[in-house]
Amino acid sequence: MKPAAQLTSLLTWLILCLAAPAAHASAWDEIRNSVYGAKAIDDGRGIVTLSAPYRPADMRKVPIGASANFQDGRTVKTITFIVDENPTPVVALFHLGERRGSVAITANFRVDRQSEVRAIVETGDGHLYMGSQLVKFAGGQASCSAPLEGNPAEIATSMGQMQLAQVAVDGAVSPLLGRAKLVLRHPNHTGMVMDQLTLLYTPMKMVSDITVRHGEALVLRAEGSIALSQDPSISFDFMRANVQELTVSMTDTDGGSWTHTFPVSPQS
């Protein structure tokens, strides 16, 4: 197609979009069809709890958490976090290696504007359950195009550093279940931020995979996106049985790879 014909075609498409009736499919309808097709997604009330601030203090790092509790012997296979109005709505997919009926995960995400946020829990037998909540826009620049916090040189040199701290589960120490908070140093460039000096966009460099293992056993694996916050933070549960250390690996889309091993105390 010649350039003039391409421009005419594009203008025609834009006019049709602007003239389209308001009764088009919602963002969620389109996401649901694209990701899950005709597969049933059940209301997760009483099973899945989604937590997020109604009006976040900072749209660049919104803590969004999901917990699931099955009392019928079924286990959790995956948890998918979705932000309807983000440029990439599927913001993270967590694969659970420890098959348990009770699971809790929280991570910090960029939320681009007011949006419904969702957690889709998949059980071991393939059923899907959803929890959702509206997150209001706190003002300021859209998070996916907002500049990074901090000095660029320091951000580059600290990339790949990790911290892991154990925290109490529901305010108490459990002999069976542990909880850890993992902080990873990485800019997670969205590819949508313009350098104010060069007027060029910073190339995308996003965290693509985060894996936590106990020995050879998988605790969890996260598939990331540009919606993970700068310096991603993830809180997760793990079974304490015979755990003396956890090994965390992170890779990004530029081929960067980092691995750290952390001791785990059975008493804290």
Q: What is the pLDDT of residue 194?
A: 78
Of 114-123, 125-134, 159-168, 195-204, the least confident: 195-204
The answer on pLDDT for 27 being more than 60 is: yes
Q: Are 50 and 117 in contact (CB under 8 A)?
A: yes
149, part of any domain: yes
Percent residues over pLDDT 70 in the chain:
86
Residue 173 confidence (pLDDT): 52
pLDDT digits (tens, 9 = 90+) for 8-26: 443 443 333 443 443 346 8
Domain assignment present for residue 49? The answer is: yes
DSSP single-letter state for residue 46: T
Region of poorest pLDDT, from 95-109, 173-187, 227-241: 173-187
State the pLDDT confidence band at 187, using cuts at 50, 70 and 90: very high
pLDDT band at residue 175 under the 50/70/90 scheme: low
In terms of pLDDT, which residue wins out, 174 or 188? 188
Q: Cβ of 154: how many Cβ atoms within 10 Å?
A: 10
Picking from 62, 153, 165, the residue whose alpha carbon sits closest to that of residue 108 is 62
Residue 3 belongs to a domain: no
The count of domains in the chain is 1
| Predicted pLDDT of residue 242 | 74
* 168 vs 215, more confident: 215
Does any domain span residue 155? yes
Closest CA to 236 of 196, 192, 182, 188: 182
Q: Is 143 left (phi over 0), alpha (psi -120 to 50) or beta?
A: alpha
Question: What six digits make up the tokens of 135?
Answer: 């997150």
- Say which DSSP state 237 is in: E
Comparing 244 with 195, which gets the higher pLDDT?
244
For residue 49, give both structure tokens.
């709890």
* H/E segment holding residue 53: none
Does residue 111 have a pLDDT over 90? yes
Q: Is 31 within a domain?
A: yes
Token code pair at residue 246: 């956890």
- CATH number at 61 reads 2.60.40.2470
Which domain, by its residues, includes 146? 22-263
Can you give the pLDDT at residue 20? 40
Q: Quick check: is 15 in a domain?
A: no
The arithmetic mean of pLDDT across residues 180-192, rounded, is 95
CA atoms within 13 A on the CB side of 97: 16
Taking residues 186-197, report their average pLDDT. 86
Q: Check residue 267 and give its pLDDT.
A: 53
Q: Which pLDDT score, from 0 to 100, does residue 110 have?
A: 96
The residues that bridge with 50 in the sheet, in sequence order, are: 66
pTM score of the predicted model: 0.86
Q: Of the ranges 7-16, 40-49, 161-170, 205-214, which one carries the lowest mean pLDDT score?
A: 7-16
| Dihedral of alpha carbons 57, 60, 61, 63, sign | positive
Residue 12 included in any domain: no
Q: Is residue 5 part of a domain?
A: no
